[in-house]
Chains A and B, each alone.
Chain A
Amino acid sequence: MKVLIKNGRVIDPANNIDAVQDILIEDGRISQLTAGIDAKDAEVIDASGFLVTPGLIDIHTHLRDPGLEYKEDIISGTRAAAAGGVTSLACMPNTSPVNDTLAVTKYIIDKAREEGSANVFPIACISKGMQGETLAEMGELKAAGCVGFSDDGRPVTSGELMRRAFEYADTFDAPIISHAEDLSLVGDGVMNDGPVATELGLKGIPWVAEDAATAREIMLAEFTGGRLHMCHVSTKGSIDLVRQAKARGVRVTCEVAPHHFTLTDEAVRGYNTNAKMNPPLRSQADVDAVRAGLADGTVDAIATDHAPHHYDEKNVEFAIAMNGIIGLESMLPLTLKLVDSGVIDLNRAISLMTNQPAKIIDIERGTLSVGAIADIAVIDPQLEWIYAAEDLHSKSKNTPFIDWKMRGAAVKTLLAGKVVYTR
């Protein structure tokens, strides 16, 4: 079985390639990458006018499977991924039960392999039961295929446990993936602390709640020599902290979410529960800082924090609505919008969604090297489309971007050489 992708603009940041080339795929792997390939027996995909990139990689998603399948499951979540050009994703362990055991990890990996439309790399809990008390069996979980450890959404409050988590995870060469939040500073806040919260009469989550926790994680990573990946950095202060830490040689990487570089807390007006997430949408100064971090290399990856919730969980008073928005099908156009507005160039944009996130979770994906597994996105960068709820593949539709006019979309997504999505 051969597939030939012809005449596309191939962008492979890992190999510094940006040129019109053909790609030949044989047995699920890339066998040739050059101009003018002729393979008579191959199925041909004409990519003229399109971008051909490594399949996108989203290292922060919630697939809600097992246990919360009414929001999303591995099948629907990976289908949404494929539609967004995403071929590999990492899923957070806050399922029901949480992923702190071999059994849950194997369930996720097996179901994804058998029924999924994307590669799924589980992230397991730092602590057993996500209780913040004792370490999960990281060695076994890593051996079973987990790519990192996180108590995402329920940050580890104990400094001692976090210190040991860095040391123990480093034993197995795995990163600690931190959702940084000082819970006492968050209190019962429900949106970014600032003038909009004051006006709406909603309790605020101050930026220092994120920054104080980010600072602790960085100091612990520096102290232990362990590897730290910061989730969804949303504040100017945390971007600065990561930048400074990198300059000192701390082993730290970070991701930002499209909503944090696209929207401010103004989007909450009208008590829009689809603009409620954690960390919350911040001020314009924070958005500017996140964008500056993307531009100067402080930010290593774009990740969605895809967090599906049922309509009923959002159709309530703002204060009691669930946190989070879906993102797998909007990451690509919102990132291309950054390119359009001149924040980053196209090659960097693709890199932030391919080889760079692959490096953070240490997976052999995210490039178009000859011999690599043929996970590929064929992207029409000019395609204009409406992000309509009824067209989305996710089970949930909780996002403030519904009905936005988008530009750029995956028109074909290939997983190990097999087409899993065609627009």
Chain B
Amino acid sequence: MSFNPKHILGIKDLTAGEINFILDTADSFKEINTRNIKKVPTLRGRTVVNLFFEASTRTRTSFEIAGKRLSADTVNISASSSSVVKGETLEDTAQNIEAMHPDIIVMRHSASGACDYLAERLSCSVINAGDGTHEHPSQALLDAFTIRQHKGKISGLTVAIAGDVAHSRVVRSNIYCLNKLGAKVKIAGPRTMLPPGLEKLGCEVYTNLEDAITDADCIMMLRIQRERQGKTLLPSLREYSRFFGLNDAKLALAKPDAIVMHPGPMNRGVEISSSVADGKQNVILDQVENGVAVRMALLYLVAGGEKLQENC
């Protein structure tokens, strides 16, 4: 098959075949990242704009490196909330950038649906690098890639995801992705962080971390934002850590060969203890490494995939 989407806005709209195709494409790019000369000419002459309305180190750097290794010209724009204060609308910002003829805009934005909004209004391709609490497709794809790398498959596995689900775009994309690939997804968190109808997305919902991770093949811990403590959702990080933090004792409930993942940035001692984060079951830095290959695959496929080579 071949798969050359105009945009990558979310996992919800992808089929299992399309997801696997992306992962296979990423596989073929992975090796480039370990060469001495880490660059291929695939996207030479293409312009990729990383338009980030929210602070991000990992995702933005990963997309930037992915673009550069494919020889695209990459431009980073950190449009802080000050551009909103100046009164420019998202549409105007985007149209100004499009007037400079980029081929792909990679966008992160605090508003759910912002990437769909952009894709409807611009003629260039849009890749969603995280929109509000909606989707974060490249994260889910790199997570799937990492699971596949370590487990050899995804179908039939049990994946537990724990944390602030209500505020997580990672979790929504992961539920769709893992479901489509045949895994069973178990979600855990305090009731205040579990949005209504979550199970309809395709998961089992638990309010007890131990129940969710028992016999899991893979455990994904989500970041707890420090600013949430002491407000209405959570009394303290200390209490969160006690009931929902992953430590060695809880990890022992999972399968002995279970892998531990985290989309980062981690709060050591809160959702994950240092001994687990640094322990032999962790694959957290593999996720980061694989992120570059997955994002290379996305840029390549959106830009035209095999058709690119025909044009060369």
Contacts and interface: CB of A to CB of B under 8 A. Distances in A.
B304 interface: no
Interface string A298-323: 00000000000000100111111000
Interface stretch (A70-78, A117-125, A198-206, A229-237): A198-206
A271 B117 contact: yes
Contacts, number: 64
Interface string A196-216: 111111111000000000000
A196 B132 CA distance: 15
Given A201-B134, A317-B90, A319-B132, A193 B196 contact: yes
**Contact count band on A:** 20 to 34
Given A201-B131, A201-B134, A319 B196 contact: no
A193 B198 CA distance: 12
The dominant DSSP class at the B interface is: mixed
B25 interface: no
A270 B116 contact: yes
A132 interface: no
B134 to A, nearest CB: 3
A318 B113 contact: yes
A332 to B, nearest CB: 32
Contacts of A381: none
B275 interface: no
A282 to B, nearest CB: 13
Contact of A198 (B12, B90, B114, B195): B195
B4 interface: no
A270 B117 CA distance: 9
A259 to B, nearest CB: 20
Interface in A223-276: 270-271
Given A201-B172, A271-B117, A319 B112 contact: yes
Contacts of A315: 89, 91
B201 interface: yes
A153 interface: no
Given A201-B112, A204-B196, 11 more contacts: A198-B201, A199-B172, A200-B112, A200-B113, A201-B113, A201-B133, A201-B172, A315-B91, A316-B90, A317-B114, A317-B117
Enumerate the 9 nearest inter-chain pairs by beta-carbon distance, A residue then B residue, closest first: A195-B197, A201-B134, A271-B113, A317-B111, A201-B112, A201-B133, A198-B195, A319-B111, A198-B197
Interface of A: 193-204, 270-271, 312, 315-320
